């Protein structure tokens, strides 16, 4: 998962333009006078002038000056000459890169202790990691009038206007600068949001289940004594790893799923969280110490309190943007509306082909489907392999973070990059041992490195960790290409997080090949069938998970005074409703809560739909890359930068963003 950096650039980019600033003081009469003055001075682009003046007016507050000062400011600072405007734009870009880069580096270091495996955490580490050094920059840029100059000359464009920019790269870059200063968020409000996010991160990063102390239905330990699984990621991956283990594997899967349900319901004993001091039977929810049952307290509502705190922090921002976090996440940040996202996901979830895929899985398993089979991994070659042997190989190759870092150029060469290009990319990425599951943290300034943080036990990198590390490496390659190799700094990045997830998935799908393990399918047709079945099922899983989160966030906005207890009740209700609507017809069982287990929903609100889009984009990318030079095309595609999603897809693959191509191939290849 890409690290969601709550810093200067991200906060500003995610902010939408309100129709009227909370403290707006400029009248329509003053706006008209400022526009008329500029037009009468011979400036012919009246539409652009009006856009800029209106945006400044929305942002202008009493402390910024009188209406006469506002009119004079517009007259003195509007740039009419195209050459001068471009020269100023390039200067602003350089300054913004320096500011963003250094604040990114500060945040990276401030969070290092809580995110890297550096030893025991102290309260002081959490306090420093919660501090966001960029929160006052927004205020400063309004105070010194730089924000107003940018807004006046590079006003925000609507999504429809951006879609019409075509291949005009400079116009795209202007548009991205224009989305920077569109609302005034006080530093204390930004800091509150950053602190809530950090608190959730720390909570999730330490939410480990000591599997060696889990008891099955018969009260027996069935996992290796030293196995520790981070919720939910490692728990899910352990379910995936046991599809080729017969009854013993099925026993493990059932046990982990029971533990997941206790987490969702918050019935999990606190003594069983991040501790191996007790044994826990999730079927009976009893705890034992030295063979004797002991009384413990359930976690209660902590999970939902963290979510609620994120919501409350988002609400404080809403007051200054004139819209909701939902709007900012979808229409502004992702540039795909909530409504369009829902339509796409619901249409996919109701595809009749998914029932056929479910029947294929049940036939393969020789049993009825269980709820945890949303993570069925049997189509992949890896599911047929002995994970312990894979772990022996990965731990030997990558005993520590430094070993993985040394091998990055070789990994890239195996993917088709030239030795020179592989070294260029690898030299700009640093690997750190993570405390949690890991993530990719990109640089924000040329000269800095992206960071790959991955979990590495003392015995070396296990296969699960390696699989995740290759995913994060894909993020880092995207982050490097889309920063160092874009034509304008303001175009750095990708349209939204789904697009970086897409390249991460493309890398992750090649993890076994990078280990030198060939697929054991008899024909390429068999492989194509297995691949499309796997992709269809993965998208089925994450689409429902995304809908659950979207639904309860809509509920939160409809019930802003909700308690954590009410939120828990709602999340569980929504999870069951989505399950019963879209999964029960395939699985034959009702009222399952598995769709609510994802840790992202606590740590990174409304991020899950990025995975759904990422998988759709991944499929379209893979189809396009088939038969082409992988490295050359990846280089070209991820230099496109931050276009809108549909424009990026058209320029990258020649096709609009859609799940229909996946269903078409599913029908033609696998059913």
Beta strands in 355-434 (DSSP E): 429-433
Percent of the chain with pLDDT over 70: 94
What's the CA gap between 136 and 117, in Å, rounded? 30
Query: 53-67, 117-131, 143-157: which has the minimum mean pLDDT?
Result: 117-131
Least confident of 5-19, 82-96, 353-367, 395-409: 5-19
Phi/psi for 281 (5° steps) reads -105, 105
Among 514, 532, 565, the domain boundary falls at 514
The radius of gyration of the chain's CA atoms, rounded to the nearest angstrom, is 26
Q: What is the pTM (predicted TM-score) of this model?
A: 0.81
The mean per-residue pLDDT over the stretch 93-111 comes to 93
C-alpha triplet 483, 484, 487: angle, nearest 5°: 85
Asked if 450 and 429 touch (Cβ cutoff 8 Å), the reply is: yes
Cα distance between residue 186 and residue 159, in whole Å:
26
> What residues have CB less than 8 Å from 290, skipping those under 6 apart?
none
Q: Note the pLDDT of residue 11.
A: 35
pLDDT, mean of residues 367-385: 86
Asked if residue 329 and residue 284 are part of one domain, the reply reads no
- Considering the domain architecture, whether residues 443 and 421 belong to the same structural domain is answered as yes
Strand partners, 228: 210
Same domain, 250 and 362: no
315 and 451 co-located in one domain? no
Domain count, the chain: 4
Same domain membership, residue 100 and residue 34? yes
Q: 398 has which bridge partners?
A: none
Residue 407 has pLDDT above 60, yes or no: yes
Tokens of 483: 């920063």
Among 130-144, 244-258, 634-648, where is mean pLDDT lowest?
130-144
**pLDDT mean across residues, the chain:** 91
- Whether residue 141 sits in one domain with residue 23: yes
The answer to which of 182-196, 241-255, 618-632, 649-663 has the lowest mean pLDDT is 182-196
Lookup: tokens for 223 = 């996992």
Residue 3 has pLDDT above 60, yes or no: no
Mean pLDDT across 319-334? 91
Same domain, 467 and 507: yes
247-277: pLDDT as tens digits: 999 999 999 999 999 999 999 999 999 999 9
Query: For residue 114, what are its two tokens?
Result: 């809580």
Most confident of 198-207, 265-274, 382-391: 265-274
Cα separation values, 214 from 137, 250, 256, Å: 48, 15, 8
* 2 within some domain: no
The total number of residues written for the chain in this structure: 671
Q: Containing domain of residue 498, as a range? A: 386-514
| Residue 399 falls inside a structural domain | yes
Section 427-436 average pLDDT = 90
Note whether residue 418 is domain-resident: yes
| pLDDT band of 135, cuts 50, 70, 90 | confident
- Would 210 be classed as within a structural domain? yes
For the purposes of burial, counting CB atoms within 10 Å of the CB of 235, is it exposed (0-12), middle (13-18) or buried (19 or more)?
Answer: buried
Based on the fold, state whether residues 399 and 464 are members of the same structural domain.
yes
Q: Which residues contact 98 (CB under 8 A, 6 or more apart)?
A: 445
199 lies in some domain: no
Q: Is the pLDDT of residue 2 over 60?
A: no
Boundary (domain end) residue, out of 514, 545, 571: 514
Separation in Å, CA 57 to CA 16, 30, 45, 62, 538 = 15, 9, 18, 11, 47
Q: How high is the pLDDT of residue 200?
A: 95
**Given this model, what pLDDT does residue 661 score?**
94
In this structure, are residues 642 and 176 in contact, taking their beta carbons and an 8 Å threshold?
yes
The Cβ of residue 198 has, within 10 Å, a number of other Cβ atoms equal to: 22
Q: Do both 143 and 42 map to the same domain?
A: yes
What mean pLDDT is predicted for residues 106-119? 87
Q: Are 624 and 594 members of one domain?
A: yes
Question: Cα separation of 299 and 550, whole Å?
Answer: 25
pLDDT classification of 5: cutoffs 50, 70, 90: very low
Assess if residue 3 is contained within a domain.
no
pLDDT category at 227 given cuts 50, 70, 90 is very high
Residue 1 has pLDDT above 80, yes or no: no
Clarify whether residues 280 and 331 are in a common domain. Answer: no
DSSP assignments along 561-602, one per residue: T--HHHHHHHHHHHHHHHHHHHTHHHHS-----GGG--THHH
* Beta-sheet strands, E only, within 282-354: 286-289, 292-294
Q: Is 558 helix (H, G, I), strand (E, B) or coil?
A: helix
- What digits encode the pLDDT tens for the residues 232-241? 999 999 999 9
Q: Are residues 179 and 91 in the same domain?
A: yes
The last residue of one of the domains, among 494, 514, 534, is 514
Sorted by sequence, the CB contacts under 8 Å of residue 455 that are 6+ apart come out as: 117, 230, 433, 434, 435, 436, 437, 438, 465, 468
- The secondary structure element, H or E, covering residue 378 is none
């Amino acid at each position: 998962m890409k690290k969601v950096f709550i810093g200067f650039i991200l906060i500003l980019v995610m902010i939408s333009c309100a129709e009227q600033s909370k403290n707006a003081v400029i009248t329509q009469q003053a706006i008209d006078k400022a526009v008329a003055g500029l037009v009468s001075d011979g400036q012919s682009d009246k539409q652009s002038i009006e856009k800029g003046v209106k945006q400044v007016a929305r942002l202008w507050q009493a402390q910024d000056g009188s209406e006469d000062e506002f009119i004079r400011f517009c007259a003195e600072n509007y740039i009419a000459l195209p050459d001068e405007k471009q020269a100023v734009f390039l200067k602003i870009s350089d300054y913004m890169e320096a500011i963003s880069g250094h604040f990114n580096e500060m945040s990276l270091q401030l969070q290092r202790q809580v995110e890297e495996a550096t030893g025991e955490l102290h309260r002081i580490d959490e306090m420093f990691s919660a501090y966001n050094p960029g929160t006052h920059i927004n205020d400063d840029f309004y105070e010194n009038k730089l924000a107003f100059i940018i807004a006046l000359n590079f006003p925000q464009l609507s999504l429809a206007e951006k879609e019409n920019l075509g291949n005009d790269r400079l116009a795209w870059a202007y548009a991205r600068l224009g989305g920077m200063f569109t609302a005034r968020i006080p530093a204390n409000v930004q800091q509150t949001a950053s602190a809530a996010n950090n608190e959730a991160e720390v909570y999730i990063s330490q939410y480990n289940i000591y599997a060696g102390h889990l008891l099955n239905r018969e009260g027996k330990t069935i996992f290796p004594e030293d196995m520790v699984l981070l919720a939910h990621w490692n728990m899910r991956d352990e379910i995936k790893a046991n599809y080729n283990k017969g009854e013993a594997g099925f026993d493990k899967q059932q046990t982990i799923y029971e533990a997941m349900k206790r987490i969702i319901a918050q019935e999990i004993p606190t003594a069983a969280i991040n501790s191996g001091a007790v044994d826990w039977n999730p079927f009976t929810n009893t705890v034992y110490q030295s063979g004797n049952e002991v009384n413990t307290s359930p976690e209660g509502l902590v999970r939902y309190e963290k979510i609620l705190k994120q919501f409350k922090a988002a609400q404080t921002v809403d007051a200054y943007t004139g819209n909701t976090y939902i709007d900012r996440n979808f229409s502004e940040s992702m540039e795909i509306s909530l409504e369009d996202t829902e339509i796409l996901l619901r249409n996919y979830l109701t595809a009749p082909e998914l029932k056929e895929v479910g029947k294929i899985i049940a036939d393969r398993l020789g049993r009825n489907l269980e709820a945890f089979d949303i993570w069925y991994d049997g189509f992949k070659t890896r599911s047929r392999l002995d994970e312990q042997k894979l772990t022996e190989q990965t731990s030997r190759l990558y005993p520590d973070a430094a070993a993985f870092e040394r091998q990055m150029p070789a990994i890239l060469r195996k993917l088709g990059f030239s030795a020179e290009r592989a070294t260029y990319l690898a030299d700009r990425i640093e690997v750190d041992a993570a405390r949690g599951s890991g993530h990719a943290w990109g640089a924000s300034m040329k000269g800095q490195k992206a960071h790959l943080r991955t979990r590495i036990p003392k015995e070396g990198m296990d296969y699960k960790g390696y699989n995740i590390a290759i995913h994060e490496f894909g993020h880092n390659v995207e982050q490097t290409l889309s920063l160092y190799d874009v034509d304008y700094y303001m175009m750095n990045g990708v349209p939204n997080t789904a697009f970086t997830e897409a390249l991460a998935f493309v890398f992750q799908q090649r993890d076994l090949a990078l280990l030198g393990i060939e697929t054991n399918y008899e024909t390429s047709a068999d492989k194509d069938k297995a691949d499309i079945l796997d992709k269809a099922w993965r998208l089925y899983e994450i689409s429902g998970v995304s809908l659950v989160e979207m639904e309860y966030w809509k509920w939160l906005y409809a019930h802003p005074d909700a308690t954590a207890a009410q939120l828990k009740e709602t999340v569980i209700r929504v999870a069951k409703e989505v399950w019963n609507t879209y999964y029960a017809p395939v699985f034959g069982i009702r009222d399952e809560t598995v769709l609510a287990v994802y840790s992202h929903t606590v740590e990174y609100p409304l991020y899950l739909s990025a995975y759904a889009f990422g998988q759709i984009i991944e499929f379209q990318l893979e189809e396009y890359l088939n038969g082409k030079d992988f490295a050359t095309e990846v280089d070209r595609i991820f230099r496109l930068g931050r276009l809108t999603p549909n424009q990026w897809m058209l320029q990258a693959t020649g096709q609009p963003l859609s799940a229909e191509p996946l269903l078409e191939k599913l029908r033609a290849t696998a059913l």
